[in-house]
Amino acid sequence: MEVTYPAGFRNRFLASVLDFIIIFLITGIISYFLYGVFYDGENSYPTDILGLFYTVLLPVLWSGYTLGRRMAGNRIVRIDGRKVGVGTMILRVLVAGVAYALTLGIGLIISAFMIGIREDKRSIHDFIAQTYVTTNPPTRD
């Protein structure tokens, strides 16, 4: 296992903020056309599913990138060097999200410290999914 060019806290945080803005705007526009309001908390199921697909499937289809990650210059990769798959991303997003919720956010705070302190910049959800975030672009095969 060799972690190369790990992305630090600020870089990963920027990517998360950019992805949040992108998902919020896109799902808000879709919600506006479906329900007549920019965001409707009661009827958000279709737009929530779209956000989940964005978070899980886009990195699988685009070498570990989401739009926000691409703009911030980082991407998700597996420790073993293979491309991230749907199973890996489900572990990373859903299982880690449940773990953070069950710890009432304490796990998320610990993950932030892990990214800031650890040399490999891996957080709890990186360990769960056997991934890391790198600033190294994908190699051409």
Residue 125 lies in a domain: yes
Residue 28 lies in a domain: yes
Residue 58 lies in a domain: yes
Residue 31 lies in a domain: yes
3-state DSSP assignment of residue 120: coil
pLDDT, residue 123, reads: 95
pLDDT, residue 120, reads: 95
Contact assessment for residue 48 and residue 55, using Cβ atoms and an 8 Å cutoff: no
Residue 6 backbone phi and psi in degrees, to 5 = -65, 140
Residue 3 lies in a domain: no
pLDDT band (50, 70, 90) for residue 118: very high
**What is the value of pTM for the model shown?**
0.88
**Cβ-count burial 88-104 (b if 16+ within 10 Å, e if not):** bbebbbeebeeebeeee
pLDDT, residue 40, reads: 65
CA 124 to each of CA 5, 42, 63, 67, 82: distance values in angstroms, whole numbers, following the listed order = 18, 32, 21, 23, 20
pLDDT band (50, 70, 90) for residue 41: low
Residue 74 lies in a domain: yes
Which tokens is 69 given?
């990650």
Domains of the chain: total: 1
* Angle (CA) 73 75 78, round 5°: 155
Residue 43 lies in a domain: yes
Residue 4 lies in a domain: no
Rounded Cα gap, residues 85 and 36, in angstroms? 36
Domain of residue 49 covers 9-134
